[in-house]
Amino acid sequence: MAEHNDLGKQGEEFAADFLRKNGYDILETNWVYQKAEIDIIARKEDTLAIVEVKTRSSLDFGLPQDFVTPKKIKLLVKAVDEYVTINDLDVEIRFDIISIYNKKGDFVIEHIVDAFFYF
């Protein structure tokens, strides 16, 4: 597996641990529907958090969250609609980003709640 894939997988594990420590139940990781993959589907009370995890080894090319494209958002919305439908859920849905990057040898985790909206 390529080094960037290892870093991405490690970032998703950090993100899931972070969410658990903050009271979220992890329902799914790497949930796939057609061409879309949702990194983490988590629930806290009556809110379903759809979490896109972006991990970078440095900030040389910008903040990790800056790499969530409109195309990716559209795919996430389509996938979560399917997930909610097949699981017959009646919940609030929120789109979050967990940004993870290396800063002077330590990984920094930022949880951006309600990172984007889609209508």
Please state the three-class secondary structure of the chain as a single string: CCHHHHHHHHHHHHHHHHHHHCCCEEEEEEEEECCEEEEEEEEECCEEEEEEEEEECCCCCCCHHHHCCHHHHHHHHHHHHHHHHHCCCCCEEEEEEEEEEEECCEEEEEEECCCCCCC
Q: How buried is residue 86: exposed, middle or buried, by Cβ count under 10 Å (0-12/13-18/19+)?
A: exposed
Which is more confident, 58 or 26?
Answer: 26
Q: What is the pLDDT of residue 16?
A: 97
Beta bridge partners of 36: 33
- For the chain, the domains span 3-112
Residue 9: predicted pLDDT? 85
pLDDT of residue 112 exceeding 90, the answer is: yes
- Average of per-residue pLDDT across 58-65: 65
CA atoms lying within 13 Å on the CB side of residue 78 = 12
CATH number of 3-112: 3.40.1350.10
pLDDT in tens, 62-110: 666 777 888 988 999 999 999 999 999 999 999 999 999 877 778 889 9
pLDDT computed for residue 58 by the predictor: 62
The rounded distance, in Å, linking the Cα atoms of 84 and 48 is: 9
pLDDT tens sequence across 1-53: 455 567 778 889 999 999 999 999 999 999 999 999 999 999 999 999 999 99
pLDDT for residue 59 is more than 70: no
pLDDT, position 116: 78
